[in-house]
Structure 1
Amino acid sequence: MPERLAVHLNRDHPRDVDPEAAALETDRSFVLEFVNHGGPVHVHLHLDDALAAVADPAATQVYVESEERRGVEITVPPSHPPAKGFVELSSGYGKEKARVNVTLTDERKDGGPDVAVDESLGEKSVSVEQSASSSIAEAVVPVVAATVLVVLAAAVAVTVSESLAPVLGVLALLAAVGVAAYLLAV
């Protein structure tokens, strides 16, 4: 992600150009974010020769509406050489000027890779299909077991006397409740 440097416009007086910092050191593309505190204004960007050899602004003429924020990216290629230069900002037909000194380093300031990589990237992940099939298998086995118990209880109830049938029905019901509780816990 590009670094950002705020440039305040019309803050102290009309067509005022006031960068948040006089210098910027970076190892990548950056954005000049114009923050307009007054009426609409045109801002001209000019990169000196040293910086222009490495960087490319998205726009050199920027129109910023009243009370608007507008960013202009200065693109720096990933394999750029180190460079020092400046971006000159002017408004009011050159009457108001400001300069931002830019130092482009060839090494990352944070020492890390260009893309943040999470440690979990190297771990083997379980696909959704594998996860779903294993959870279905875990649910089917107890249901089949409960069904077999209920069928066996019904078969025994038919073959035994009428006084034992209600007891076996209650046992089958308790087994079904136990299986349901197990499935809810999983």
Structure 2
Amino acid sequence: MTGSLEVELNGDGLHSVEAPPSFSATGAFDIVLENVGQAVHVHVHLDDELSTAASIDTGNHYVTGGDVQRVHVRTASLSEPVSGRLKIVTGYGAETAYVTVRIEPAAEKKPGIDVDETLSRPPKREPEPSIGEQLADLLPSQTVLPAVALGLLVLVVAGVVVTVVQNTVVVLTVGAILGAVAVAAAFVLREA
């Protein structure tokens, strides 16, 4: 909406109307009726040329003393400017003022693209992990660590037993136990 058409009522006496001789708008606008005197009846009328491009909900208004009323003028979509006269009448015809109104077509709006507000901020970058964090990532997780420690303990005990007792049955038994530990370790590490 472009500016407002300012009209002063009762400024120079009862029923007087002060309005500019001409007014231009691009699209819809308001007629502001400012009453500086006693209460007054006001009639607003668009002539034939102007009514092809604009409309008012109601033409008759009662404006009390010291009050301001806005009359909204809606406009149709225009391809070229339209000019006409706006008639403002007070006191049931006691005073009349005419304003030449020119309504310009609204500039065509190019379709916009909605952009998410988060795109206006740079992305948050995670800090580079320290050497300690990188090494901690290489170690097994805390849930797997006890199983790995137990597996290493079994290997050490098995190695000691095979070295001390050089019996074929003991070596085969230790080998079976080591195989079972290796299979269990594979399952635990795969789940981690």
Normalised by the length of structure 2, the TM-score is 0.57
Contact 2:78 2:104 in 1 (8 A): no
Where in structure 2 are there 5+ consecutive unaligned residues? Answer: 134-192
Using the TM superposition, give the Cα deviation of residue 83 of structure 1 relative to its aligned residue in structure 2, in angstroms. 1.2
CA–CA distance in 1 between the matches of 2:47 and 2:79? Answer: 16
What is the aligned partner in structure 2 of residue 66 from structure 1?
65
After superposition, what is the alpha-carbon deviation per residue over 1:53-102, rounded to whole angstroms, capped at 9, x for unaligned? 11101320011111001100111123354211011000111120001101
What is the aligned partner in structure 2 of residue 171 from structure 1?
none
Q: How many residues align?
A: 133
Within the alignment, does 1:16 sit opposite 2:16 as a pair?
yes
User: Superposition pairs for residues 23-172 of structure 1, below 5 Å?
Assistant: 23-79=22-78, 81-106=80-105, 108=107, 113=109, 125-126=117-118
Where in structure 1 are there 5+ consecutive unaligned residues? Answer: 146-186
Using the TM superposition, give the Cα deviation of residue 46 of structure 1 relative to its aligned residue in structure 2, in angstroms. 1.2
Normalised by the length of structure 1, the TM-score is 0.58
CA–CA distance in 2 between the matches of 1:81 and 1:107? Answer: 9
Q: In the superposition, relative to structure 1, how do residues 114 and 65 fare at CA in structure 2: closer, same or farther (>3 Å)?
A: farther
Larger radius of gyration: 2
After superposition, what is the alpha-carbon deviation per residue over 1:97-151, rounded to whole angstroms, capped at 9, x for unaligned? 001101122354xxx8499x8xxx7766328xxx9xx69x88xx9xxx9xxxxxx
Contact 1:3 1:29 in 2 (8 A): no
